[in-house]
Amino acid sequence: MEDSDLGVWDKAKVIKNTASAVSKIKSIVQALLAQITSIPEELKAIKEAADSLKTGISDGSVLEKGLAADKKGLTGILACYEDSYGKLR
């Protein structure tokens, strides 16, 4: 930039705009890193839910809960889930 034909104010604008762009990039990268670091936790929760469902299918508890919800006249997925497992957080 020292060899450019830009005046002092124009150079200052370029520096300011560059710093602003870098700051935005830094914020985006930090947000992405936070999301990336939470992926293992999310995968663990999904695995635990799948294991729980597999166990429930094997021992018949899922079927029992479904039949109980049917007897109560519950038809929506949320209503059936909350009847069996409690309110969602």
Q: How much is the pLDDT for 60?
A: 94
Kindly give the residue spans of alpha helices, DSSP state H, lying in 1-89: 8-59, 61-71, 77-85
Full residue range of the structural domain in which residue 75 is found: 8-85
Q: How much is the pLDDT for 7?
A: 85
Q: How much is the pLDDT for 70?
A: 92
Asked if the structure places residue 2 within a domain, the reply is no
Structural domain count of the chain:
1
Asked if the structure places residue 3 within a domain, the reply is no
CA 56/CA 45 separation, integer angstroms: 16
Q: How much is the pLDDT for 38?
A: 94
Asked if the structure places residue 72 within a domain, the reply is yes
Q: By C-alpha distance, which of 42, 58, 71, 68 is closest to 85?
A: 68
Asked if the structure places residue 76 within a domain, the reply is yes
Asked if the structure places residue 55 within a domain, the reply is yes
Averages of pLDDT over runs of 10 residues in the chain (89 residues) are 76 94 97 95 93 93 92 92 85
Q: How much is the pLDDT for 41?
A: 93
Q: What is the pTM of this model?
A: 0.55
> Which residues are CB-neighbours of 61 under 8 A, at least 6 positions away?
55
Beta carbons of 70 and 81 less than 8 angstroms apart:
no
